[in-house]
């Protein structure tokens, strides 16, 4: 352990965990000289290093998940992983440069050669390089799982790796089915290659909306997407409706783009239902979360009725009753009591639309 400063005891777990003082060596290129002002400051105030680390973590999240999200979602999993590691390294180097300026100077440096020598001594020492390497390895590990989470969703990722659904669980959930109207006709007009590109453009806004409305993407099957929320919060009923109408609004703003590239404008209809279902993890090589229950079957069948009743969004009475608690800006209209195909009991169906008069 020649690269560690004198006095550092690897076996002292309490020293290592409680005070964060081991991190002081990151900003102390003289390897233990207590006269350096940054070393003295961080030694007396362990929260400073915690604040710096928190700032780096927040900046990394802001850079990746907000500013670069659209660019990252268009890349492959490997490219996303590499870009995240590189961005974190650049951010870490920038922070170290700022620390080095504080470490050595009370005023701006005018002698560039002198400053470069100081920077060299700051970075090219065993402790800084060692911790930089450890930081890169840890960030690589974290970003690997972060990249996977982006593909499977936050909720699904955590519960898959924890084995939560290895034993089937009953949950109270909300489901929305969003389906492309006249998909067969559009596929015939565009052909399978251009139709695939068309669907990519249609579903491109989903990622940001899933983050904004905390939705779990259950599956995309052809031209239909199914999303879910836990029904334990009234706000989630609002999220489901807001998600659909903002999704269609975004597509409406891109109408000129769709017309120019494909010669037609997409329209989507949707249905929402809520209730208790069973959830389990299925598969071994490629694990997935599977939902089973009449709630999904009912939602899927209601969605097919949108065209018959001339409505964009149909929901069950069970959903509308709970949605009414957070329905400001929307109007709920009872449509029918229908006996759906394959079901013995009739189902009350309602429509939810923006309230233009409010």
pLDDT (0 to 100) of residue 180: 95
The confidence score (pLDDT) of residue 23 equals 45
Q: Which two tokens stand for residue 67?
A: 């500013």
Candidates 222, 209, 203, 199; CA nearest to 153 is: 209
Q: Can you give the pLDDT at residue 256?
A: 94
So what's the pLDDT on residue 338? Answer: 77
Read off the tokens for 308.
Answer: 């018959």
The CA–CA distances, whole Å, from 235 to 225, 239, 257, 268 equal 21, 6, 33, 23
CATH architecture of 154-354: 2-Layer Sandwich (3.30)
Q: What pLDDT is attached to residue 320?
A: 95
Please state the domain extents for the chain. 13-152, 154-354
Q: Are 311 and 191 in contact, with CB atoms under 8 Å apart?
A: no
* Whole-number pLDDT of residue 116: 67
- From the first residue on, what is the mean pLDDT of each consecutive set of 10 residues in the chain (358 residues)? 41 41 45 44 53 60 59 59 69 66 54 65 58 62 65 62 80 95 93 93 89 87 91 94 96 94 95 94 73 92 91 95 93 86 80 84
Phi then psi for residue 108, to 5 deg, are -55, 145
Residue 229 CB-density burial (10 A; 0-12 exposed, 13-18 middle, 19+ buried)? buried
Q: Which residues of 191-206 are buried (b: 16+ CB within 10 A; e: fewer)?
A: eeeebeebbeebbebb
Q: 202 phi and psi, to 5 degrees?
A: -65, -45
Residue 16's pLDDT is what? 40
């Amino acid at each position: 352990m020649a690269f560690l400063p004198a006095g550092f005891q690897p076996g002292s777990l309490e020293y290592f965990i409680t005070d964060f003082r081991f991190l002081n060596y990151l900003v102390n290129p003289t390897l233990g000289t207590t006269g350096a002002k940054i070393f003295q400051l961080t030694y007396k105030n362990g929260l400073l290093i915690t604040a710096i680390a928190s700032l780096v973590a927040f900046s990394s999240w802001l850079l990746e998940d907000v500013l670069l999200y659209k660019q990252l979602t268009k890349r492959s999993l490997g490219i996303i992983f590499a870009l995240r590691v590189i961005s974190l390294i650049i951010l870490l180097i920038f922070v170290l440069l700022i620390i080095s300026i504080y470490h050595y100077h009370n005023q701006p440096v005018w002698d560039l050669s002198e400053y470069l020598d100081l920077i060299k001594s700051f970075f090219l020492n065993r402790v800084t390089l060692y911790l930089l390497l450890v930081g890169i390895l840890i960030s690589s590990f974290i970003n690997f799982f972060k990249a996977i989470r982006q593909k499977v969703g936050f909720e699904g990722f955590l519960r898959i790796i924890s084995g939560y659904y290895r034993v089937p669980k009953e949950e109270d959930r909300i489901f929305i089915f969003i389906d492309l109207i006249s998909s067969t006709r559009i596929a015939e007009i565009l052909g399978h290659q251009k139709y695939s590109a068309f669907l990519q453009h249609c579903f491109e806004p989903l990622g940001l909306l899933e983050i904004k409305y905390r939705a779990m993407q259950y599956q995309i099957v052809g031209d239909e997407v199914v999303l879910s929320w836990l029904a334990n919060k009234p706000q989630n009923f609002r999220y489901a409706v807001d998600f659909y109408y903002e999704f269609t609004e975004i597509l409406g703003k891109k109408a000129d783009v769709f017309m120019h590239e494909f010669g037609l404008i997409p329209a989507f209809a949707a249905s929402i239902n809520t209730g208790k279902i069973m959830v389990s993890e299925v598969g071994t090589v490629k694990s997935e979360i599977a939902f089973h229950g009449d709630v999904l079957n009912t939602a899927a069948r209601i969605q097919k009725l949108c065209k018959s009743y001339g409505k964009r969004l149909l929901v069950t009475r069970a959903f509308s009753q709970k949605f009414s608690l957070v329905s400001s800006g929307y109007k709920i209209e009872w449509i029918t009591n229908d006996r759906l195909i394959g079901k013995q009991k009739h189902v009350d169906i309602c429509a939810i639309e923006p309230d233009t008069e409010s």
